[in-house]
Each structure stands twice: as structure tokens, then as C-alpha cells.
Structure 1
Amino acid sequence: MEKVIFFYSVFLIALCAAAVSPAGILYLRTKKKQYLYLILLFTCYLTELTELHYIVFVGLPTGLISPGDLSHISYPALRIGISAAILLLDLLLLFWITGRRWKNIYGLSILPMLGICIYLVFQPQTDLVVWLFYSVRQFYRLGYCAWFGICLFQEQEPERKKEMGRYTLPIFGIFLLNLCILLEDSLVISHIDSFLSDIPYISERNFSENILWMFLCIYSAGRCISEIYKEPDVPERQEEPIAEPEGEFFPVRQEPREGMQAFIEKYRLTPREAEILGCMADYKSAAEICGELYISMGTVKTHTHNIYAKVNVNSKNELIRELNGYLNQ
């Protein structure tokens, strides 16, 4: 049994390390922050797995844990720090998926988790204390999944809603697996922990969490590899006559200037977003864009926000700087 657990833990470590590689290739190629977040996320889990593997099969040095602490937690400070980093990276990736703009103050939402875990580490070890320590991360993730569902329901932009819809199934899977983790923790800690006390359990007595991470590693690696070998789709231009009845005015679609088409295709901008990008490239204000394209100010702001999210910039100056790299080629 010990050999099975040993090779099982080595497999998890190897799988997690393999998931870092395609994300690293994409980050070096595109410099997009979401791939850096993936690298850091799997590096955190890799650190956690390696530490557990060392503790189970090598041993814990004496004197690291004082009496009364959670004796089965090898390095409480390291474990809490990794959990906080994982939750923060999860949140950053969720903001990228939903197209919401990140503000540093949102990172403070991790502080309650830190406070709870630090408090529990120094409490007498009881079933409830152990369960709470391991469950805080899962409660946060359940909240993240619920927030994604709310954002998807409230999204009005069809293109963004379609893009978010691609992540509905994996996030629903994450939601179900986190429920399984909570259930397994509850059963193991309260009922069958005594029967497993002599078994080296690399998964911290929680098989569901390893299933979750295997799912994330395989899904992320698959998406990254598909992006690496994906050839950009070049849509065929079709000239359509525009009817101009008397007494009515219709916005005329602007054809992308030379060099801008590659930018539009790379970031998968919609036709309307491409029009607004062209106006922004001419340094037109939001009011001027409204008048030229016959759309409302709210529509301009929505499309501008979506463009920023796709290009991964936070201001018009950053967007123009990124665009100029294509126009000057």
C-alpha cells in the first residue's frame, strides 16, 4: 500500500509540473498575465505536493510544531501562505474569464481566510478545528463559482457572454468537486480517521482534492496546447451593399486600416469592437465615437471595457501603444 501511495504522489507531482510547461510557453510568446497566473497557481500546488511527499516519506524534523498545534500539518506558515496564494490566483483568473477589471483592493478579500487559519493553528486540535482549517479554501472556491454564475447571468454583451460560456462546464465541475472535498473531509475527519491513522496518505486524507487538481492540470494543459498550435482564422471579407433610404441614417462600418487586421484577429475583436478600436486609434473621444457610429455612451463604454479585457490593458494609452506595434510593422 505504501508503494502505491508513493507512486501516486509522484504521478501528481509530475502531472502538475507538466501543466506548467505549456502555460510557460504561451507566456513567453504572448506576455499575457493570465498565463503567468497559471504558472504561479500550479507552482503553488506543486510546492504543496512536494512538501507533503517529503513529510510522509522522509519525515518531519522535530521541534517545528509546538504542542497543541495541528500536529499533522507540517509547516503551518507555509501551508497557509500557499492557500492564500492559490485563492488570490484563482480570483485573478476569474476576473480575466469574466472580463472584469481587477483592482488591488480586491486582494484584501483573502485576509479573512488568513486570519481564520492563523487562529486555528494555535487552537487545541479537535475534529472541528481540523475540519475548519482544511475547509476554508473550499468555501472560498464555492463563493468564486457562485460569483461566476452571477456574472454570466448578468452579462449583456453577447460576445462576452459567449466567451464566458466556454468556461461554464469546467467551473461547474470545480463547484461539484469542491462539494465532494467538503463532504469527504467531514466523513474522514469525524468518522473514519482512526481507521486510516497507520496509512501514509499523501492526499491529506482527501482524494477528491487530488481529482480536482488533476482535472485542472489536464484541462489547463489541453487549452494551452490548443492555443500553441492554433492557426488564426482569417475571415473572408464580403462586400455587402448598404441601403440608404431617404430620411434615415445608418452608421457606416469602417474597414480596418492596414496592419490593424492582424491585431483584430489576434485578440478576436468583434466587428463593432473593431470599429471602436479604429476610432480610438484616431484619438476620438467617447462622445465623438457615439456620434460617428450612432450608438449610446453606455454601449461605447461596454465595448471599450471588453477591448481592454481582451488585449489585457487598463487604459487607452496602453491600448494604443499595443496597437502601434502592429501598425508600425
Structure 2
Amino acid sequence: MDILIFIYNIFLIVLYTVVVTSSILNYSHKKRPLFAVTAALFLSYIFDNVIIYMTEFLEDFSTLYDLQFMTVPAFKTLIYLVSSYCLVTIQRLVLPGRQTVRDSAALILLGLALLFAPMAGGGALKVWLYYLPAQIFTFYLGTSGLLYLSQYPESLDREMVSYKTLLGVTVIFSVLILIEDTIVIFSFDVYSNPMVKINNRSLSEDIMSIIYSIYAIKYLTRQLRLPRLDVGDAGTIFQETPPPSVQIPPDQEDADTAFLHFANHYQLTSREQDILKILLTDKNNQEISDTLYISIGTVKTHIHNIFQKVNVTKRSQLLRIYYVYKKEMPWK
């Protein structure tokens, strides 16, 4: 049994490490905040799993950790806060049109709950009350994201279409984790003084993180295959030679060649291409909304996604990069 647990822990650590490495590689190429936050999230998973692994194999460490957990669960609190902040940030980056005030308020409430829960009562109830806020928080994050997407389905970028599935997974597993915690804490953990023995691993939580990992690896691998384009301080464009799969045949080289290459290089969706065409004519958000018959909120969301992909923060920067790209013709 010990061998199986050992192999299982190694599997989790390797899986999380693959995600972290892929995220760092993507961030070093494209500087998108989403990749940095993803790396931070899975780093917190690695640290958490290493500690849990140590409690399963080192008896003295397990006893010391469990006793400290009953008084000041500092490490677990830090892990929860870091991972929760990363989840909120990822949701803000993927769904930029959402109001984030409630997310920030929920994160603050989670932090306060984790700080004050250890002061409430003792024994099994105290531990259960400590874990409860984290599951309520993830349930809120998943349901709020799903509700937003039900109202604005077009706000989700094509390359992130599976994010809706992940939100559903988050909602389901937040409930399953709570059920598992309730059973384990009140039926299997030992809280008799002076002996304390806590099962620090949640299988439901592990399964959820494995699903996160599989999705992240698929997405990050796909991003690594895309060509890279860097814009220097002087506005000069340096581009790696694009692979044959993204090169446009010579017979398509017409008046729209620059636009097509630009959109292809940055993997702009068809809707983002429509909006970019109008942006290039110096139209404002309301005019874009009227032209495409979509809400201003949707326009802002797609413009934000374009900014992220091109790695800019202003329209003027986007236009400058586009016209330099058009002038230099780096695909030739």
C-alpha cells in the first residue's frame, strides 16, 4: 500500500510540474499574465502535495504538523489564499467582462474565515469549519462564472471554450469535497487529547486538480505550437519562421494579406477579426456595437482579448504594431 501511495504522490508532483514548466515556457515567449498565474496556481499544488506526502510517510512530521494545524494552520491557510487568488485572477483574465468586485469581496471573506476559524470550538467541528469556507468559495466562483456565460456566451474566446466545462467541474467537486471532508473529519480522524491524527489528503480535491492539469496541459501545448512574434522597443518586429501549417498559400496573397497573416499569427477568432477590421477604421465601441449588432460589453470583452493576444494595453499600441507588421511583411 505504501508503494502505491508513493507512486501516486510522484504522479501528482510530475503532473503539476509539467503544467508549471509549460506555463513558464509560454510566459517566456508571450508574456501573457494567464500563463504566469497558472504557473503560480500549480506551484501551490506542488507545495501542498509535498507536505501531504510528508505527513503520510514521516510519522514524527505528521504528528507535529497535525498538532500545529489544530492551533495555527499557517501553511494550509497560505496555500488556500494563494490558490484562491490565482483562481480568481484566471477567471478575470478569461472572462474580462465580469464585475470583479464581488470576487474580491469573496476572497477577503475567505481570508478572514480562514484566520478566525481556528478560534471556533475544538476537535472535529473546528477542522470542518476551517475547510468549509474554501469549498463555499470555489462553489461561488464556479456558479458565478457559469451564470455569466449563460448571459454572455459569446464572451468566451474560442480557444478557451473548455473553460465552461471546468467551471462545471469546479461546482461539482466543491460539493464532493465538502461531502468527503464531512465523512472523513467526523468518522475517521482522531482528535483525542493528546493524540491527534488527521487525514490531510482529499481524493476529490486531487481528482479536481488532475482534471485542471489535463486541461491546462492541452491548452498550453497548443499555445506552444503557435509562432512567436516579439515587438522591440523601437517597434521592430522579430518573428520566428512560421510552420507550414500556418503559412498562407501564395494564391491568397491579395490586398488583405497583411490582415490575414496578422490575424492568423495571433490566433484571432472570427469575431475578433471583425472587430479588429472596424478598429482599424478608428471607430469607437458604440459604433462597433451598432455595426455588428452586439452589446458594448461584448465589444469590450473581445477588444480586451485582442489586447491580451497582441500583448498591448492601448488601441494606439495595437494600431502601431499592426501597421509596423504590415510595413515589414515578416511572413515573406
Deviations 1:67-119 (A, max 9, x none): 8x643x8x722221221111111111112232426868953431111111111
Q: Give the Cα–Cα distance (whole angstroms) in 2 for the partners of residues 294 and 61 of structure 1.
A: 63
Higher mean alpha-carbon deviation, 172-181 vs 86-95, is at 172-181
Correspondence 1:17 to 2:13: no
Q: Give the Cα–Cα distance (whole angstroms) in 1 for the partners of residues 251 and 171 of structure 2.
A: 43
Per the TM alignment, residue 161 of structure 1 is displaced from its structure 2 partner at its CA by: 7.3
Identify the match of residue 141 of structure 2 among 131, 139, 144: 144
Cα 1:91–1:56, aligned 2, differ >3 Å: closer, same or farther?
same
Q: Secondary structure at the match of 1:100?
A: coil
Cα 1:324–1:161, aligned 2, differ >3 Å: closer, same or farther?
closer
Higher mean alpha-carbon deviation, 124-133 vs 312-321, is at 312-321
In structure 2, the partner of 1:178 is: 174
Q: Give the Cα–Cα distance (whole angstroms) in 1 for the partners of residues 268 and 26 of structure 2.
A: 20
Identify the match of residue 86 of structure 1 among 79, 83, 88: 83
Deviations 1:143-168 (A, max 9, x none): 111112111110164x7476664323
Per the TM alignment, residue 302 of structure 1 is displaced from its structure 2 partner at its CA by: 3.2
1:47-62 to structure 2, matched below 5 A, reads: 47-58=47-58, 59-60=60-61
Show structure 1 runs of 5+ residues with no match: 240-254
The one-letter code of the counterpart of 2:116 is: Y
Q: Give the Cα–Cα distance (whole angstroms) in 2 for the partners of residues 150 and 237 of structure 1.
A: 45
Would you say the 8 A contact 1:138–1:182 is kept in 2? yes
Would you say the 8 A contact 1:152–1:164 is kept in 2? no
Q: Give the Cα–Cα distance (whole angstroms) in 1 for the partners of residues 190 and 299 of structure 2.
A: 58
Cα 1:323–1:167, aligned 2, differ >3 Å: closer, same or farther?
same
In structure 1, the partner of 2:124 is: 127
TM-score normalised according to structure 2 size: 0.74
The one-letter code of the counterpart of 1:218 is: I
Correspondence 1:326 to 2:316: no
Deviations 1:261-289 (A, max 9, x none): 333223443555435424434544456x5
In structure 2, the partner of 1:250 is: none
Percent of aligned pairs with the same amino acid:
20
Q: Secondary structure at the match of 1:193?
A: coil
Q: Secondary structure at the match of 2:291?
A: coil
Would you say the 8 A contact 1:273–1:304 is kept in 2? no
Per the TM alignment, residue 325 of structure 1 is displaced from its structure 2 partner at its CA by: 5.6
Higher mean alpha-carbon deviation, 214-223 vs 309-318, is at 309-318
Cα 1:32–1:143, aligned 2, differ >3 Å: closer, same or farther?
same
The one-letter code of the counterpart of 2:89 is: L
Provide the aligned length of Structure 1 versus Structure 2.
Answer: 303
Q: Give the Cα–Cα distance (whole angstroms) in 2 for the partners of residues 160 and 311 of structure 1.
A: 15
The one-letter code of the counterpart of 1:326 is: Y
Q: Give the Cα–Cα distance (whole angstroms) in 2 for the partners of residues 189 and 139 of structure 1.
A: 17
1:92-103 to structure 2, matched below 5 A, reads: 92-100=89-97
The one-letter code of the counterpart of 2:184 is: V
How big is the alpha-carbon RMSD for the aligned residues of Structure 1 and Structure 2?
3.9
In structure 2, the partner of 1:259 is: 258
Q: Give the Cα–Cα distance (whole angstroms) in 1 for the partners of residues 156 and 90 of structure 2.
A: 15
Q: Secondary structure at the match of 1:269?
A: coil
Would you say the 8 A contact 1:100–1:309 is kept in 2? no
1:163-312 to structure 2, matched below 5 A, reads: 165-194=161-190, 204-229=200-225, 259-271=258-270, 273-286=272-285, 289=287, 295=291, 299=295, 302-312=298-308
Structure with greater proportional helix content: 2
Per the TM alignment, residue 39 of structure 1 is displaced from its structure 2 partner at its CA by: 0.5
Higher mean alpha-carbon deviation, 2-11 vs 319-328, is at 319-328
In structure 2, the partner of 1:249 is: none
Deviations 1:207-227 (A, max 9, x none): 111111122112211221133
Would you say the 8 A contact 1:263–1:323 is kept in 2? yes
Cα 1:122–1:70, aligned 2, differ >3 Å: closer, same or farther?
farther
Would you say the 8 A contact 1:155–1:161 is kept in 2? no
1:37-52 to structure 2, matched below 5 A, reads: 37-52=37-52
Deviations 1:208-265 (A, max 9, x none): 11111122112211221133236765789999xxxxxxxxxxxxxxx97553333322
Higher mean alpha-carbon deviation, 125-134 vs 5-14, is at 5-14
Per the TM alignment, residue 303 of structure 1 is displaced from its structure 2 partner at its CA by: 2.5
Higher mean alpha-carbon deviation, 2-11 vs 35-44, is at 2-11
The one-letter code of the counterpart of 1:111 is: I
